[in-house]
Structure 1
């Protein structure tokens, strides 16, 4: 994992939040859990994300060994993003957080 913060982490939650921090990273992970996607597909599946932010987050997730970027030797070139083993484990760890959100936020507003 590549730390984007100087110094050491205080605890495991601190390190995890460094990897998933921001609105878009967990949504990228959620979509990639379904199946590998190309960049354009991810952009369409995540309305509101800019191309610049999506590219930046995918690079960071790749640096953290959470997302794998595969380039296919085709014309035109094709690139697909998928979860690594570490990314699958991270998504599994996020399931309880998603359930908490459903029970404590969505149900109260819906």
Structure 2
């Protein structure tokens, strides 16, 4: 089950791993879809990223390909999309993108 606690831990761990491979402070773009749990998970994930010193740009509601495109074109270190894609509305998920989108 994807809880805010798990989203925080994923953000914290993902941010830590990313910071070990970047010379400068990493920048991560975070987007979400319109699912009811999206905003809550977005806040928790961002809190985890910020807790390890990651710079975050919150994209808000955006399509998954939009996150990948912006990560690549704006040269962000990584991107995260909070969405369960085609799955039922009560589900949610977290997708990580590398710097190449």
Shared fold per TM-score greater than 0.5: no
Kindly indicate which of the two structures has a greater share of residues assigned to strand.
2
Question: More relative contact order in 1 or in 2 (CA 8 Å, sep 6+)?
Answer: 2
The alignment's TM-score, normalised by the length of structure 2, stands at 0.28
Structure number with bigger Rg: 1
Kindly indicate which of the two structures has a greater share of residues assigned to helix.
1
